[in-house]
Amino acid sequence: MPALLNLPLAALVLHTLRAKPHLHDHTVWADERPEGIAHSVAGWTVTLVGAVWVPVCGFVSWRGKLRSVPVLARELLGLSPSEAHMLIYHCNEEQAVNLLGHWVDAACVQQYRRLAAMEAELEKAS
């Protein structure tokens, strides 16, 4: 599991992939189709945060700077280069959903444990 997974964004990407499986295509950053625009995981990630697609393939404008789609997606999700490479380039649609789902579930468990530990510490201090 990524050490610094951006849980809210990862959960949003996962929800989108599950809700729009027909618009998930690991072979494209963004591709207009009759039913909408299909994206890879990286494409969905940058789209969901509001990056603006530019006419340069594989790049978006983010906070006034031209950024590479996979690099920006990796940074936004809090993934290491190897984790991002695996998710973005080595997973088909089903594998990407399964891997991202595993990471989100593990991060939820980790966050729950941290909050429970903090609650226990607060109770001791009272």
Strand pairing partners for 61? 52, 66
Digit-coded pLDDT (tens) for 43-63:
999 999 999 999 999 999 999
The answer on pLDDT for 81 being more than 70 is yes
What is the value of pTM for the model shown?
0.88
CA–CA dist 17, 11 (Å, integer): 10
Digit-coded pLDDT (tens) for 5-24:
999 999 999 999 999 999 99
Nearest to 44 by CA among 96, 83, 81, 1: 96
